[in-house]
């Protein structure tokens, strides 16, 4: 099955700086890559996703890039704010099973 | 609340007891997933349903775990003879699951936190 690896496991940045979280996957059949944000004690929330026919997608301060050849994708958060502090998970999914495989998470702390 | 709902939010049980959790997906969603999450880890797949059919079950899933979705709406997850290692957050998620559409957005419930003493 698919294996998703995520780095780093923890990340601290100063407010206003950028944060980058990287994930790799193993199954070339994976074609959908969502990112989830999970605040303490709350459910994972989808923040951005990208499909395999797209190399980059942006939504305000958040962007995701995908390199299908290298089988890796990254989350970029610019102008970080304290409310960005949370655990971020990447995931990979592919047809026909539409199974979602998650990374182990990155705990992001934005220091005011 | 029109999101995914789970009940109960917390469950404390003694080792050896059976527990059952319920998940109500978003009403028009055909696909329903169960995940398990322990502290510091990402959600780990347990099983998923397309309507009432259970299409896949993790090989890591013990025979003590069983899930149902009898009418294609809500689902239950039962753990028999609970062990301390079963202590975790059990998350339910749902997606539209349209035929021929592989990349549906997954929406999570708030989870059931299980503690086995």
Q: What residues of B are in the A interface, CB distance below 8 Å?
A: 4, 31, 33, 35, 40-45, 48, 55-56, 91, 93, 95, 97, 102-111
CB B76 within 8 A of CB B21: yes
pLDDT range class, residue B102, cuts 50, 70, 90: low
Picking from B109, B102, B89, the residue whose alpha carbon sits closest to that of residue B44 is: B89
Q: What residues of A are in the B interface, CB distance below 8 Å?
A: 4, 6, 31-32, 34, 36, 42-46, 49, 51, 89, 91, 93-105
* Omega within 30 of 0 (cis) for the link into A99: no
Chain A / chain B CB contacts < 8 angstroms: 64
Mean pLDDT, residues A49-68 taken together: 93
Does the structure show a pLDDT above 70 at B99? no
Mean pLDDT, residues B1-22 taken together: 93
The mean pLDDT of chain B is 91
* CA distances to B22, B24, B48 from B45, in Å: 17, 18, 8
Tell me which chain B residue has its CA closest to the CA of residue A106.
B40
């Amino acid at each position: 099955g698919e294996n998703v690896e995520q780095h780093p496991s923890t990340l601290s940045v100063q407010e206003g700086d950028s944060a980058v979280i990287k994930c790799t996957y193993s199954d070339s059949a994976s074609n959908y890559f969502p990112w989830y944000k999970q605040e303490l004690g709350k459910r994972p929330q989808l923040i951005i996703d990208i499909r395999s026919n797209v190399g980059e997608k942006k939504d305000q301060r958040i962007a995701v890039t995908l390199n299908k050849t290298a089988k890796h994708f990254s989350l970029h958060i610019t102008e970080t704010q304290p409310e960005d502090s949370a655990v971020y998970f990447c995931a990979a999914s592919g047809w026909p099973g539409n199974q979602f495989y998650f990374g182990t998470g990155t705990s992001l702390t934005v220091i005011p | 609340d029109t999101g995914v709902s789970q009940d109960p939010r917390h469950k404390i049980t003694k080792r050896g007891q059976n527990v059952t959790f319920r998940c109500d997906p978003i009403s028009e969603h055909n696909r329903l997933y169960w995940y398990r999450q322990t502290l510091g880890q990402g959600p780990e797949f347990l099983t998923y349903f397309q309507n009432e059919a259970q299409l896949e079950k993790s090989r890591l899933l013990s025979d003590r775990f069983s899930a149902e979705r009898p009418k294609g709406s809500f689902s239950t997850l039962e753990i028999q003879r609970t062990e301390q290692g079963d202590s975790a957050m059990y998350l339910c998620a749902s997606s539209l699951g349209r035929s021929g559409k592989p990349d549906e957005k997954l929406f999570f419930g708030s989870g059931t936190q299980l503690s086995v003493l």
